[in-house]
Amino acid sequence: DVKVTQSSRYLVKRTGEKVFLECVQDMDHENMFWYRQDPGLGLRLIYFSYDVKMKEKGDIPEGYSVSREKKERFSLILESASTNQTSMYLCASSSPGRVDHEQYFGPGTRLTVT
């Protein structure tokens, strides 16, 4: 059974804190993604990575950075958390070798910045 896990389901942080969100997949997928999900806006791509140590900016990268030191792990970093980063964060992975491009999502981390 394919699995994408995220380090926390719920997280509360203070403004200005550095926040790490971790994602691990066990499917040996090359591609990994970080999205944020907000009501009425759907899922918006923050960053994606198509290989170890490789990263590409998505639609809303400002205020975020990522790290991919190992194939199975993709980390999202909020250098200095702000209240407008309160959101649901979803990690996903996929394999470019698959014809259907299917993405597998983790359960999400609901981050609240106070």
Partner 1 sequence: QQQVKQSPQSLIVQKGGISIINCAYENTAFDYFPWYQQFPGKGPALLIAIRPDVSEKKEGRFTISFNKSAKQFSLHIMASQTGDSATYFCAATYYGQNFVFGPGTRLSVLP
What are the residues binding partner 1 (CB under 8 A)? 4, 31, 33, 35, 40-45, 48, 50, 56, 58-59, 90, 92, 94, 96, 98, 100-103, 105-108
Cα separation, 28 vs 17, in Å, equals 32
Q: How far is the CB of 17 from partner 1 (least distance, A)?
A: 25
Residue 29's CB is within 10 A of a number of other CB atoms, namely: 22
Our CB check for partner 1 shows the closer of 77 and 105 to be: 105
Q: How far is the CB of 102 from partner 1 (least distance, A)?
A: 5
Our CB check for partner 1 shows the closer of 48 and 64 to be: 48
Instruction: Choose among 60, 69, 68: nearest CA to 89.
Output: 60
Our CB check for partner 1 shows the closer of 58 and 63 to be: 58
DSSP track, 55-105: -EE-S--TTEEEEEEETTEEEEEESS--GGG-EEEEEEEE-TTSTT---EE
Contact 50, 56 (CB under 8 A): yes
Q: How far is the CB of 37 from partner 1 (least distance, A)?
A: 9
Our CB check for partner 1 shows the closer of 29 and 81 to be: 29
